Chains A and B, each alone.
Chain A
Amino acid sequence: MSLLRMEQVSHRYGKRRVLSRQAERTVLQDVSLTLETGMCLGLLGKSGAGKSTLGRILLGLERPKAGRVLFEGQDIYGTHPKDYRQDIQVVFQDSFAAVNPKLTAGQIIAEPLTNFTRLSPEALEQKLITLIEQVGLTRADLAKYPSAFSGGQLQRICIARAIATNPKLIVLDEAVSSLDMVNKAMILKLLRELKETYDLAYLFITHDVQAAQALSDQFMILEQGQIVGHYPTPQAFDQATDPYVSAIKDAMLATHPRKRTIRK
C-alpha cells in the first residue's frame, strides 16, 4: 500500500478568481500521483500552475471537486482531520504569514505537540530545545517573537514545527525558496537527514530546480493544472529533452559573470 495516492484529482475555483473571463477556472485536471514512504517527489512548475493548490488538497485543506486522496488507504476527505493531521505536515512559502506574530518561537513549535501529545512541562521544554537545535538555532531563540527573526531563521522555526509530531509526510511548499544559499544548503541537508532518519516522504513543491535536484528521487512537472512530465529517476530528469524541461534549463542564470547573458 502506498503512503499516499492521488487519483484523478480535478479542482476548480469559483468566480472569485480574477484573470479569467469565465466564472470558473480549472486549476487541476485529472492529476494522479503516488508517494511512497521515504520518497521525495519534486513537483516543478510555473507560478500559477496549480502547485500550491495540489499541496493544499493533499493536506486536506481544500476538498477537490473530483477524485480521491488516499493516505495509507483511507480517503482523507472521508475521515476526521485529527486522524491524519499529525502524519501530514506542511512548511509554507511565506514564513511570516505562517506563524502567529503574538506567539514566541517556543509557543509556535509547541502548538502541534500540545495538540497531539501529552508531555510534562519538563519533557516539552526538552523536546523544544532538541527541535530548535536540530534546525540550527539556539535555545535562547525559543523566547523570541517572529519579528525578531529574519525570513530564513523563521523558516527554520516552521520546519521545527513541522517535524515536531514525527510526521510521515511533509509538504514543502517552496520551503527553501526564500532562504539564502548558506541556509538553503543547510536546510536541504537537514531535510535529507530527517528523511533518512525517520523514513519521511516529501512532496517538494518548488520552482528552484537546483533545490529540487538536491533532494528529490522523482520529478513531476505541472503546467496549467496538468502533469506534463513524470521522471521516475534523477537521471531521467537530467537527460530529458522535452520542451518543459528545456524551458526550465533555459531560464537558469549564469554562475559566473563571464557567462552572463542579461547584462553584456
Chain B
Amino acid sequence: MKPVLSVEHLTVETTNGQPLVRDISFSLAAGQIVGLVGESGCGKTVTSLALLRLLDEKIIRQSGKIVLEEQDVMALSDRSLRTIRGGKIAFIMQNPMSAFTPVYTIGHQLMETIRTHDRCSKHEATSRAVEALREVNLEQPERILKAYPFELSGGMLQRVMIALAVCLRPNVLIADEPTTALDVYNQKQVLYYLEKVRATYGTAILLISHDLSVIAEMADDVLVMQDGEIVEQADVFELFDRPQHPYTQRLLIQHGMQAGARNA
C-alpha cells in the first residue's frame, strides 16, 4: 500500500550541533496506526513537531525527506505549510492546558480552525463544532462552546482538542500522548474514538505514547525510540512477544511489573 506519509533519514539537531533526532525513517499508510514509544526526553515530541516543520528554524536544523501525499514538506513555503497544518495533518498535543489561548472561548477557537480551512457559514461551523464535541462524548456541547479553556478540566480540554483535530477529517493524525492527561474512564473512550476515526475515515495515526498499554490496545506497528534513535521497529505482536533490542526488553519488563502490581 502506498504510504500517506513517509519519512526518510530525518535528522534534527540544534544549531550548535546537539543531535535530537538521528536519522529516522518510517512510513504511515491510510488506516494504519503506528505507535512511537520511548522515555520522556528521547525525542518523540521533537519528531512530531519536525513532521510539520513547527520547530524554530533559528535554533534547530532539520534534514531528511518528509513526503505527505507526494508533496515534499521540506520544500513547502510557510503559506502552503499553513494549509497542511490542521487540514491534512492534525495534531493532538500532550498538554491541553497550554494548547488553547486563554483569552478566547472554546467555540471561537474551534470555529476559527474550521473556517480557516473550509469555506462555510458561521452557522454551519457552529453545528460542525457541536457535532464534533458530541462525538468525543462531551455533554452539553453548546455550553462548552461558550466556555473559556480555564473553565474546563484537563480531561475535557483534551477531548475538545481531539474534536478539533478530527473535525477537519485529516489524512494524518499525530497524537502526542493523547490520553496522558485523561482519567481512566475517559482514556478508553478517547481511544475508542480514535479507532472509530481510523475505521471510518481511513485516517493514518502516529500515536506517540509512553504507555505500553495504549500501544498494546491500538498500534499495528511500533517504533521504539531511545536518545533520538529508532532502536527497534516491529509489528506490535512481534514486539510484545519477542523484543529484540535490550532497551525494548527493559521497557517491557517495567511494563510487566506494573501489570503484575495491577493484577496482584
A residues sitting closer than 8 Å to B (CB atoms) are 16-19, 45-48, 93-94, 96-97, 149-153, 177-183, 185, 207-210, 213-214, 238, 247-248, 251-263
Query: Known contacts A209-B262, A261-B217; is A151 also within 8 Å of B40 by CB?
Result: yes
- The residue that A180 contacts in the complex, of B39, B144, B195, B236, with Cβ under 8 A, is B39
Encode B172-187 as 1/0 by CB contact (under 8 A) with A: 0000010011111111
Query: Known contacts A18-B151, A47-B153, A178-B180; is A251 also within 8 Å of B255 by CB?
Result: no
Set of chain B residues within 8 Å of A209, measured between Cβ atoms? 184, 262
- Bound-state Cα–Cα, A17 to B143, Å: 11
Set of chain A residues within 8 Å of B75, measured between Cβ atoms? none
A-B contact count (CB 8 A): 150
Set of chain A residues within 8 Å of B146, measured between Cβ atoms? 18
- The residue that A181 contacts in the complex, of B143, B154, B218, B255, with Cβ under 8 A, is B255
- Pick 13 A–B contacts, CB within 8 A, sort by A: A19-B139, A19-B151, A94-B95, A151-B94, A151-B95, A177-B180, A181-B254, A183-B39, A209-B184, A213-B261, A213-B262, A254-B216, A263-B218
A183 nearest CB neighbor, chain B only: B40
- The residue that B155 contacts in the complex, of A47, A254, A263, with Cβ under 8 A, is A47
- Bound-state Cα–Cα, A93 to B154, Å: 9
The prevalent SS among residues of A at the interface is loop
Set of chain B residues within 8 Å of A183, measured between Cβ atoms? 39-40
Encode B233-257 as 1/0 by CB contact (under 8 A) with A: 0001100100000000001001111
- For residue B232, give the distance in angstroms from its CB to the closest CB of chain A: 15
Set of chain B residues within 8 Å of A18, measured between Cβ atoms? 143-144, 146-147, 151-152
- The residue that B184 contacts in the complex, of A93, A97, A248, with Cβ under 8 A, is A248
Other 12 A-B pairs with CB < 8 A, given A257-B219, A259-B216, A263-B218: A19-B139, A46-B185, A48-B155, A178-B177, A183-B39, A183-B40, A209-B262, A252-B184, A253-B187, A253-B191, A253-B213, A263-B217
Query: Known contacts A19-B147, A151-B40, A210-B258; is A47 also within 8 Å of B140 by CB?
Result: no
B residues sitting closer than 8 Å to A (CB atoms) are 33, 38-41, 45, 94-95, 97-98, 139-140, 143-144, 146-147, 151-156, 177, 180-188, 191-192, 195, 210-214, 216-219, 236-237, 240, 251, 254-259, 261-262, 264
- For residue A137, give the distance in angstroms from its CB to the closest CB of chain B: 11
The answer to whether B40 and A185 have CB atoms under 8 Å apart is: no
Query: Known contacts A94-B97, A253-B188; is A262 also within 8 Å of B41 by CB?
Result: no
The answer to whether B39 and A182 have CB atoms under 8 Å apart is: yes
Set of chain B residues within 8 Å of A207, measured between Cβ atoms? 182-185
The answer to whether A262 and B192 have CB atoms under 8 Å apart is: yes
- Bound-state Cα–Cα, A207 to B95, Å: 17
B37 nearest CB neighbor, chain A only: A180
- Bound-state Cα–Cα, A47 to B179, Å: 13
The answer to whether A262 and B258 have CB atoms under 8 Å apart is: no
- Bound-state Cα–Cα, A16 to B152, Å: 11
B157 nearest CB neighbor, chain A only: A47
- For residue A75, give the distance in angstroms from its CB to the closest CB of chain B: 29
Set of chain B residues within 8 Å of A177, measured between Cβ atoms? 180-181
- Bound-state Cα–Cα, A207 to B256, Å: 20
The answer to whether B262 and A262 have CB atoms under 8 Å apart is: no
- For residue A191, give the distance in angstroms from its CB to the closest CB of chain B: 15
- For residue A115, give the distance in angstroms from its CB to the closest CB of chain B: 26
The answer to whether B40 and A150 have CB atoms under 8 Å apart is: yes
Set of chain A residues within 8 Å of B140, measured between Cβ atoms? 19
